[in-house]
Amino acid sequence: MCASAIDNESGVANTYYTVDDGAEQTGTTVVLSDEGDHKLVYWSVDRAGNVEERRTAAIMIDKTAPAIVVSVPEDGSIYEDSGDLTPQITMTDNLSGVDNGKTTVTLDTNSYRFGTAIPLYTLPLGQHSLVVSSSDLAGKWASS
């Protein structure tokens, strides 16, 4: 992140900042790489000694895609064809959150609606594939 200050009178002497309430630093370039929420406080001083009001920016870095757990059906499980099966799917993202609007679930390439029971007698005998894809609000994608 780069910042610049302008003072048409005496000119800018220095720009200062702190990251996450750390030590005061001088400069106009801030590099943040650690995942999580960060607080940037910045201000400038002109050559006449006037101090700009401190400003705060909240910055979130989310490098991790959401976690997707399918607890039902379990991988390799065998089910009778006479019952119903309701998939149990949990998605979590500890930073930006799951973008539910971009979540898709397919059963054998057909769209599946969360929370609905699948009458197993309607499926052909054999193996089936349940695929869940989702994005977090930072745009990181995951699939199971």
pLDDT higher at 76 or 142: 142
Determine the Cα–Cα distance for residues 134 and 114; give it in Å rounded to an integer: 13
Q: What is the pLDDT of residue 71?
A: 94
Neighbouring-strand partners of residue 81? none
Q: What is the pLDDT of residue 127?
A: 92
Q: What is the pLDDT of residue 37?
A: 94
> What is the band of 112 on the pLDDT scale with cuts at 50, 70, 90?
very high
The reported pTM is: 0.73
| ∠ CA 100-102-108, rounded to 5° | 105
Average pLDDT over residues 26-45: 95
